């Protein structure tokens, strides 16, 4: 954003953290006490626009509808329809147009439903900000905030613009959505001279973050795109969306089918010319071949299968915004996940109680303090004192168990209150016994907080803070019931212990106290008695380890990419099973080169690392790119603004629905309603099952169509007058093919799908081995039709229409029975995933009824060139159609026995 000529202030402000308050006042033409006037604010708002980032533009309904027709399959169907119109085959053309329309409507309405789900998740409340304008405190909509405004912040507020702090009273901010840092950041109003990384200045607040403690006065230095959040949003806009693997594979399959169609048509045309067949006959046969070669039902079946998967995933707390993303999840072989809130609870709990004579690992289960099998022996007095100090030297609400999401407070202080309640010493009771007289607030300089209280008989001083800083104020130490001098050896031991706890990824605070019979002086944080330390942690979610274990057994690599501290990241990674206990490799963002990330040595190092810490949004984006260029199908999870660019770049972006920022949710292709990593593993399982179903029905459809090609070609040479008509073939493709294929697409997949590695993403839907199997299936069905025609000529009639009808019925029935050949070779002959699929039985019954219905009505019978056939012809067609099923099942039976004998 360039400065306009009529602007009487400098904007945007560069390195506002390094400017003094006076310099900032001059730069933005504002006043630290009065702010700017309402008139000036209105003027600036007109010059710079509203304080809102550019939300990703939603596709119009027209564009969404038109995109349903944008695929090679649909192009080919349009070509077939117009060709039918040209040759005055109106019924064929109308049928194909209906297929195209139904497919488009299904895709359109499923994506529309996903959009509606996203709108339901979007926060509809308008946020407000408290500012001083013209010396008066007023409340304005946050989007009306302008540079130079004097913003007032207090605990519970969302920061609505980037700003320089000019006054701070114990201000702490939760910046996890922007930086990934799980612990609150203590702020200052001092001018910073050294160069600071973007969104990390301690004397600045940033749009989209939350105030959890204290209060402050801030001069707004950036709005909209000129905020740290806005710059990340711009990065999201510049990231190019990619085609999904399924789109690419279906397009490749379509091209192969087109070439097969053209090849067979050309072969027949050349052969017919050599044999001097009439050109009209050659043309009709070529059209029949073109119709036979292409599975017109494929787009509908694929769309319905994906839509069904989309609905199933919605029931399992996953909103899928694009149909093809359902299948892409099944191809994922690496998940790049954020830490804070995704793997962890995004809540701070007490993890370790470290006393001078013993150290205890603790947890809170069902409101009770659990020492994890250990017993507290020597430090009962220390524990009681630490709990009292933690309850009194605390500004959090005294009811930490509240479920009100808007409740504010330092998460560390809330954790201390939860500890007190779990230990049986409720903070409310302690506070009622010791009334607070004064407070020395925490500051970035002292790194301590102290409170003075009046007890029944004396005064009690409670203090907590950084270990080194607080120890400097202590001259004695609590050892059980006794108090002794704090000598240098004990100090050294405590500091070494604190370093060990910090190295394991814990946030460590020390606790001390003092008693006095008389009211102390103002500087009462002197001659304190050291009690112990507490190690805090944002712990892993309870179900996360099992979910990650499932993913790893499925051959999916899990990589943590976070903005948090390296040791904290490594600690969590080891706990949840992302990395081994003896693996301490972490790459920090500061170690990653700016321009050499895609060089061979760095690619190798990145691909062998499972934990990345202190990463920037740009680095997350580059790590995604490294994995994609190495051939991986990448899923990226995240909730913060800092995750959005990588979410868009990934093959599947997964955002958190409950606590995710709007930027992340708009960018992702899948949104989790419960924010649970377990939902991701379930979604991957669904994706794999859906791909199995897609592969199964594609093999079914293509083998059916190939059998039609073979029989049309064969009859074209041997009995042109009895050849199947294009409309008959289209009826087969849209009835006897589509409904069983749909049933296969809606079936339950292999239950062991998550016990095998992901499929090779470079392989097509139909592999070379699959093509071989398809040809065998097609030849068997063709052979059954040839047998039926031969038997019909010998025992029934050699009439061309009767032979045509026998060929049609045999082909139709053999294709219906062929659906049972789609079961796995590992499953039983009678009980398998196909025979257990109720949709298969419904589809077969429906197809039989439709075929009988066509025969029953004169007009439909006439349109498809059907006649009443003698019973013998029906019997021949019925028996011959079971031959492929019998042969395939016999082969599978011998194959199963061979597999069992090998085992």
Alpha helices in 423-459 (DSSP H): 427-433
540 DSSP 8-state letter: B
> How far is residue 332's CA from residue 761's CA, in Å, rounded to a whole number?
8
Nearest of 460, 455, 458, 448 to residue 511 by alpha carbon: 448
- Mean pLDDT, the chain, rounded, equals 82
What's the pLDDT band for 777 if we cut at 50, 70, 90? very high
Which secondary structure element, helix H or strand E, spans residue 169, and what is its range? Answer: strand 162-174
158 DSSP 8-state letter: B
| Paired tokens of 296 | 């017109």
Which secondary structure element, helix H or strand E, spans residue 325, and what is its range? Answer: helix 325-331
Residue 162 and residue 226 in contact, taking contact as beta carbons nearer than 8 Å: yes
> How far is residue 385's CA from residue 447's CA, in Å, rounded to a whole number?
21
Distance spanning both ends of the chain, measured CA to CA: 70
Residue 299 and residue 312 in contact, taking contact as beta carbons nearer than 8 Å: no
Alpha helices in 123-244 (DSSP H): 176-179, 228-238
Residue 14 has pLDDT above 80, yes or no: yes
Mean pLDDT, range 417-445, rounded to an integer: 88
Residue 668 and residue 654 in contact, taking contact as beta carbons nearer than 8 Å: yes
pLDDT of 122: 47
Nearest of 323, 380, 390, 334 to residue 355 by alpha carbon: 380
Question: Radius of gyration over alpha carbons of the chain, in Å?
Answer: 36
| 84 compared with 379, residue with greater pLDDT | 379
> How far is residue 532's CA from residue 401's CA, in Å, rounded to a whole number?
25
> How far is residue 260's CA from residue 295's CA, in Å, rounded to a whole number?
12
pLDDT of 55: 55
pLDDT tens digits, 625-635? 899 988 899 99
pLDDT of 811: 92
pLDDT tens digits, 147-179? 999 999 987 788 889 999 999 888 888 887 677
539 DSSP 8-state letter: P
Give the rounded percent of residues in the chain with a pLDDT score beyond 90.
27
pLDDT of 681: 83
Which secondary structure element, helix H or strand E, spans residue 902, and what is its range? Answer: helix 883-902
Nearest of 818, 835, 840 to residue 885 by alpha carbon: 818
Report the predicted TM-score, pTM, of the whole model to 2 decimal places: 0.69
| 288 compared with 609, residue with greater pLDDT | 609
C-alpha dihedral sign at 236, 242, 245, 250: positive
**Neighbour count for residue 208 (Cβ, 10 Å):** 26
pLDDT tens digits, 457-472? 899 999 999 999 999 9
What's the pLDDT band for 56 if we cut at 50, 70, 90? low
Residue 575 and residue 545 in contact, taking contact as beta carbons nearer than 8 Å: yes
Residue 124 has pLDDT above 60, yes or no: no
Q: Cα 410–423–412 angle (5° rounding)?
A: 15
pLDDT of 857: 86
Residue 117 has pLDDT above 60, yes or no: no
pLDDT of 902: 43
> How far is residue 348's CA from residue 340's CA, in Å, rounded to a whole number?
11
What's the pLDDT band for 131 if we cut at 50, 70, 90? very high
- Residue 37 burial by CB count (10 A; 0-12/13-18/19+): exposed, middle or buried? middle
Give the rounded percent of residues in the chain with a pLDDT score beyond 70.
85
Q: Which residues pair with 438 in a beta bridge?
A: 452
pLDDT tens digits, 221-250? 989 888 887 777 666 555 455 566 666 777
What's the pLDDT band for 402 if we cut at 50, 70, 90? very low
pLDDT tens digits, 687-732? 888 888 888 888 998 898 888 888 877 776 677 667 777 778 778 8
Find out whether the peptide bond into 12 is cis, omega within 30 degrees of 0: yes
pLDDT tens digits, 244-276? 666 677 777 777 777 777 777 777 677 667 766
Residue 131 and residue 329 in contact, taking contact as beta carbons nearer than 8 Å: no
Contacts (Cβ under 8 Å, ≥6 apart) of 575:
539, 540, 545
pLDDT tens digits, 515-534? 988 888 888 999 999 999 99
Q: Annotated active-site positions, please?
A: 338
pLDDT of 286: 67
Between the ranges 28-42, 118-132, 284-298, where is the mean pLDDT highest? 28-42
Residue 189 and residue 167 in contact, taking contact as beta carbons nearer than 8 Å: yes
Residue 199 has pLDDT above 80, yes or no: no
Residue 371 and residue 672 in contact, taking contact as beta carbons nearer than 8 Å: no
């Amino acid at each position: 954003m360039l400065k306009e000529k009529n602007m009487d202030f400098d904007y945007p402000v560069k390195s506002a953290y390094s400017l003094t308050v006076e310099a900032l006042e001059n730069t933005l033409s504002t006043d630290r006490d009065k702010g700017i006037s309402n008139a000036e604010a209105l003027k600036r708002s007109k010059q710079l626009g509203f304080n809102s980032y550019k939300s990703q533009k939603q596709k119009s309904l027209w564009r969404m509808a038109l995109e349903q027709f944008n695929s090679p399959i649909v192009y080919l169907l349009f070509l077939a329809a117009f060709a039918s119109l040209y040759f005055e085959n109106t019924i064929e053309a109308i049928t194909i147009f209906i297929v195209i329309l139904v497919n488009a409507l299904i895709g359109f309405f499923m994506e529309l439903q996903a959009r509606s789900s996203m709108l339901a998740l979007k926060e509809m409340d308008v946020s407000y900000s408290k500012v001083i304008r013209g010396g008066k405190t007023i409340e304005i909509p946050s989007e009306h905030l302008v540079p130079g405004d004097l913003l007032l912040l207090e605990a519970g507020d969302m920061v609505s613009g980037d700003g320089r702090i000019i006054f701070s009273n114990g201000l702490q901010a939760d910046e996890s959505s922007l930086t990934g840092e799980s612990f609150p950041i203590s702020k200052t109003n001092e001018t910073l001279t050294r160069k600071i990384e973007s969104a990390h200045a301690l004397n600045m607040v940033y749009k989209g973050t939350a105030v959890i403690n204290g209060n402050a006065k801030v001069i707004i230095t950036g709005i909209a795109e000129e905020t740290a959040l806005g710059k990340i949003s711009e990065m999201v806009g510049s990231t190019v969306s990619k085609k999904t693997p399924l789109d690419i594979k279906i397009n490749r399959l379509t091209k192969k089918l087109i070439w097969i169609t053209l090849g067979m048509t050309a072969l027949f045309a050349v052969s017919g010319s050599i044999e001097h067949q009439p050109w009209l006959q050659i043309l009709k046969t070529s059209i029949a071949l073109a119709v036979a070669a292409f599975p017109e039902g494929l787009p509908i079946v694929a769309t319905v299968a994906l839509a069904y998967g989309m609905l199933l995933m919605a029931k399992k707390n996953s909103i899928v915004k694009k149909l093809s993303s359902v299948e892409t999840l099944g191809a994922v072989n690496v998940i790049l996940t954020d830490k804070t809130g995704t793997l962890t609870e995004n809540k701070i709990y007490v993890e370790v109680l470290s006393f001078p004579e013993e150290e205890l690992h603790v947890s809170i289960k069902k409101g009770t303090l659990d020492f994890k099998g250990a017993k507290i022996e020597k430090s009962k007095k220390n524990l009681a004192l630490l709990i009292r100090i933690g309850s009194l030297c605390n500004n959090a609400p005294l009811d930490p168990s509240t479920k009100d999401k808007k409740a504010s407070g330092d998460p560390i202080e809330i954790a201390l209150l939860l500890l007190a309640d779990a230990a049986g010493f409720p903070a409310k009771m302690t506070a009622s016994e010791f009334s607070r007289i004064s407070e020395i607030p925490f500051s970035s300089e002292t790194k301590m907080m102290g409170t003075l209280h009046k007890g029944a008989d004396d005064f009690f001083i409670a203090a907590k803070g950084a270990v080194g800083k607080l120890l400097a104020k202590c001259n004695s130490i609590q050892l059980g019931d006794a108090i002794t001098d704090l000598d240098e050896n004990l100090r050294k031991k405590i500091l070494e212990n604190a370093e060990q706890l910090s190295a394991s990824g814990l946030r460590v605070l020390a606790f001390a106290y003092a008693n006095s019979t008389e009211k102390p002086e103002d500087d009462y944080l002197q001659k304190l008695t050291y009690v112990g330390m507490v190690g805090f942690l944002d712990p892993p979610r309870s179900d996360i380890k099992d979910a990650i274990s499932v993913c790893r057994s499925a051959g999916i690599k899990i990589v943590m990419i976070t903005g948090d501290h390296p040791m904290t990241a490594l600690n969590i990674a080891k706990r949840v099973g992302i990395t081994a206990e003896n693996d301490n490799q972490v790459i920090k963002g500061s170690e990653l080169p700016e321009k050499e990330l895609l060089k061979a040595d760095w690619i190798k190092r990145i691909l062998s690392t499972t934990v990345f810490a202190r990463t920037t949004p740009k680095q997350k984006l580059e790590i995604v790119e490294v994995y994609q260029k190495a051939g991986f199908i990448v899923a990226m999870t995240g909730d913060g603004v800092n995750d959005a660019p990588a979410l868009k770049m990934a093959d599947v972006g997964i955002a958190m629905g409950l606590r995710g920022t709007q930027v992340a949710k708009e960018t992702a292709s899948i949104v989790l309603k419960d924010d649970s990593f377990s939902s991701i593993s379930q979604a991957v399982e669904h994706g794999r099952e859906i791909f199995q179903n897609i592969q199964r029905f594609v093999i079914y459809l293509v083998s059916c169509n190939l059998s039609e090609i073979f029989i049309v070609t064969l009859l074209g040479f041997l009995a042109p007058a009895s050849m199947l008509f294009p409309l008959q073939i289209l009826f087969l493709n849209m009835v006897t093919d589509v409904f069983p294929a749909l049933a296969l697409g809606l079936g339950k997949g292999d239950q062991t799908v998550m016990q095998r590695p992901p499929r090779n993403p470079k392989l097509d839907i139909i592999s070379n081995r699959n093509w071989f199997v398809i040809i065998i299936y097609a030849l068997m069905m063709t052979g059954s039709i040839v047998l039926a025609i031969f038997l019909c000529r010998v025992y029934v009639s050699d009439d061309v229409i009767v032979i045509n009808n026998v060929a049609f019925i045999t082909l139709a029935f053999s294709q219906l029975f062929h659906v049972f050949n789609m079961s796995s070779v590992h499953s039983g002959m009678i009980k398998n995933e196909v025979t257990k699929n109720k949709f298969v039985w419904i589809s077969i019954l429906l197809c039989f009824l439709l075929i009988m219905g066509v025969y029953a009505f004169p007009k439909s019978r006439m349109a498809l060139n059907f006649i009443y056939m003698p019973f013998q012809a029906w019997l021949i067609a019925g028996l011959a159609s079971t031959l492929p099923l019998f042969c395939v099942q016999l082969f599978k039976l011998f194959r199963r026995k061979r597999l069992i004998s090998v085992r």
